[in-house]
Amino acid sequence: MGYETIDVRKIDGGCGAEVLGIDVKAMSNRQWDEVQAAFVEHGVIFFRDQDLTPDQHIAFARRWAPIDINRYFTPVAGYPEIAEVRKEPDQKRNIGERWHTDHTYDQIPAMGSILVAREVPSQGGATLFANICDAFDALSDGLKQTLRGMNAVHSSAHIFGTTAKKNHGDLTFHNAEQVGDVIHPVVIRHPLSGREALYVNADFTVRFEGWSKEDSKPLLEYLYAHATQDRFTSAFQWRPGSIAFWDNRATWHRAVNDYQGERRLMHRITVAGCALEAAAR
């Protein structure tokens, strides 16, 4: 679509666009309307050189939807709405290193996540994004029809639960007792764009409903490999003051762990979504 008050430029690859010429703290009503449209059109939008205080980060998030506080991440001191995504120089693991989308382990998953760069390494530390609407469209008609009739089990237990702590390495999470499983359609109808999207992910989807983990694994791995082809993915390289706002119903993302010995500190707010509907068969 055409934009009159903002400059929207697709980034290289298959997912996302930069929104230029705007201060997210002082958007006009027309700019706000066009930023919303860009979010729906591209699935993830990026802003550069934004100087946001934590209070302004919260205000920007609330303009989209109520804040959905993450119960597992360490919050920023004095700001329970903001989760820290931190990797210290001596840590080997990083948060979000596998392809995933946020909060699919919740019955009503978060609409989106707004990540603000506070400290970034001298090189590396990019975040990769995948367009799961385009990925679904590219599947064969027969497989699309099969997937439309399926549900999948999503879980937080194996990532954030008590028994999973030994797998965290040097990462710290909270509320290990507040875990559980939910069921979502494998193919959803996106509530804003109306497009079909492939709603499984490598971190939180454990199996198809009615299938064992062993039987589910080959098809899930095929879908993960399909959706992360270069034609559906893009890389965003962070700078201080960069913001990424992604739609958890339209994209996957993965944080690249290629900056050993350096600090990376990001502030993340997730905003509330709605119940998901299956795409019609």
Q: Give catalytic residues, as residue numbers.
A: 100, 102, 253, 268
Q: Which of 40, 27, 72 is nearest to 268 (CA)?
A: 72
Strand partners, 278: 188
Strand partners, 107: none
Burial category of 66 from C-beta neighbours within 10 Å (exposed 0-12, middle 13-18, buried 19 and up)? exposed
Strand partners, 246: 44, 113
Question: Would you list the DSSP string of the chain?
Answer: ---SSSEEEEPSSSS-EEEES--TTS--HHHHHHHHHHHHHHSEEEE-S----HHHHHHHHHHHS-B---SSSPEETTEEEEEEEEE-TT----TT-SSB-TTTTSSS--SEEEEEEEE--SS---EEEEEHHHHHHTS-HHHHHHHHT-EEEEESHHHHSGGGGGGSTT-----TTS--EEEEESEEE-TTT--EEE---TTTEEEETTS-HHHHHHHHHHHHHHHTSGGGEEEE---TT-EEEEETTTEEEEE----TTS-EEEEEEEE------BPP-
